[in-house]
A and B are shown apart, each in its own frame.
Chain A
Amino acid sequence: MARTMAEKVWEEHVVRRADGEPDLLYIDLHLVHEVTSPQAFEGLRLAGRKVRRPDLTIATEDHNVPTQDLLAPIADPVSRKQVETLRKNCSDFGVRLHPMGDIEQGVVHVVGPQLGLTQPGMTIVCGDSHTSTHGAFGALAFGIGTSQVEHVLATQTLPMAPFRTMAVTVDGTLRPGVSAKDIILAVIAKIGTGGGQGYVIEYRGEAIEALSMEARMTVCNMSIEAGARAGMIAPDQTTFDYIEGRAHAPRGEDFEAAVEHWKSLRTDEGAVFDAEVVLDADELSPFVTWGTNPGQGVPLHAEVPDPASYEDPSARAAAEKALAYMDLAPGTPMREVRVDTVFLGSCTNGRIEDLRTAAEIIRGRRVAEGVRMLVVPGSMRVKEQANAEGLGEVFEAAGAEWREAGCSMCLGMNPDQLKPGERSASTSNRNFEGRQGRGGRTHLVSPQVAAATAVRGTLSSPADLAAL
């Protein structure tokens, strides 16, 4: 029978299947960070259990870490304790850790792919919802809770409830200035924050195939914002080229054998998805959010919507609440919305290509008066590469702050936060109330829009900038 890619990867990992029980799946790679792991390690200790496969586990410090003055101790004692706890746990249980100051330290979802640990056909989990990022390689990757983190540490498996499959097909070609971020924001606006609930999404079509690996990661990263369990993209030559030569990639004959297998993972001709959604890339334009969930977005050239225009009373109430929080009036052109801060970074858009794109727009220009621009590379390796390409200098010359790697202002667990009432244009993934700091207001944007907004001070696309 013709099968989808997600079904194939699932089948390859079933350790045990029994009537009336969820399938027990084997986990090929477990990524660990400081926030969702302490209680899991403590659970192992209390039960006298070990980590079954430390060699399939890797940890880094990302959520809490400061992005400046790395040599000073972490000022916040609670954050410091959490990071120190991770170090002790990794040491006690024999787990490889990339701590602050290490060249491989960074946002966990940037670190896995750059080390070549993320490969097609694998099952990958992490106590972080944006684990869906790794699906860009054709891996089945999902975020899990701390109980499941403990389960994977102890058994290297997870009992998993069955899923449904959804195809999101993006036909056509993206226009200049329109990016992967705009694709996924448009998908979420179309199907809603619950539209993907219970599904593994496979992104396909001409526009997806044309994307680089970095851009594919941006798309899969935000699958969770549509409520999906995971997002996947079929591996192809772009994928193989990205993996080849990386530290943990297979080599020589192994690589050839791996590629043969990876090619077999593609969804079979005639396989049936439980749901299908189609978008036309030619019709997409830069997209921005106006509300407090990622589904509340519009094209940049549009206006803040009027809650009265919603037929569904629950959506209307949500829009009214969101506009009150965001301090926006219906009908305001999005382009006139002024921001205080621009954040470029995160597991959504903190990779080298994102930095290159933004730097190209910023080069020779200045960050607008009164605007703070924070550029936070996804990993120290990304930072090193960006510096080698002179990108750091471009950001600094424009008046932006060029920081060290971490999750930073995406969720404000470290000192990088919005103040109450401050407004940001952010390349991150969530515009929830208070996400970037208590009382902060977030507009989700692409790196292109982030860079142009930094220059003009209002939500803008590169096309709005005066020629140099």
Chain B
Amino acid sequence: MTKYIAKRLIMSLLTLFAIIFVLFILIRIMPGNPFPVERMSAEMILQKRLELGLDKPILVQFADYISMLMGGSFGNGTSLYNGAPIKPIMLKCLENSFKIGVLSILFGTLVGLIIGITAALHRGKFLDGLCTIVSILGVCIPSYVFMIFLQYFFSYKIPMFPYFFDPSRFLSSAVMPAMSLSLFAISTVARFTRNEMVEVMNSDYVKLAEAKGLYGLQLIRRHVLRNALIPIVTVIAPLVVDLLTGAMVIEKIYGINGVGKLMVDAIAGQGVDYNYVLALGIVFSALYIGIMLLLDILYGIIDPRIRLAAKD
């Protein structure tokens, strides 16, 4: 197992390196540059470029960047756009997106599981159809449309929640964005849970368990759910990264100071902030890779057969 994890770790680092390289090149190809030029003379811009080493060959710049990254700093550690330090600001934004992301994952998985299990237990009946309709709607409606809908009804028509995100009232501000973000998770989890459970419930070992006299919750929990869980965990994992790394449109509409908004501003503000885009890209990729790694280890815990297979 240790050898397996070590191997996976090395692979992950290589993947990350490749991502950084591609990102680094892509950003330079993108139209736009980091300097809001309107009020700076060509001479001053040139001076800034020299200071930041942007005049060097791109591969040299990349090597410089990697060595600075090894030293724990994203480039020169400041925004090229307004000179503010990257790390504290990014952490603050990550924290906001994380909190809302976690809420929506918890809510989404819980509700998704309930809907999925209900549908599977009543397969072919009215409730099953209803759950399917709900989960298809959830995939079809973009989360920000749902967000606008919630904002209109639950803070404009009925003033239950703040109209814009208010950090001093975090919990009540987080309800609407977390709910809209969880919509996709709910429907995905519900669909997978239903399908997997239906399959597992038709299998011989469940029939055997039933024949032995097991029924109800015990049967579902011990035999059905546990076996149905592997594919479900597989779909939840990327969802988790999606939700943790913020929602660009929702954060923009609701005024949440999160990483999604930070990323959009860094790309589509007045200038393209190379340092921010790269830093966020690296953090997002690392998160994704990290969660996928965790997932592989989790498989082993949920289903010992996978652990055995890895040993061979």
A, B in one complex? no
Interface residues in chain B, defined as those with a beta carbon under 8 Å from any beta carbon in chain A: none
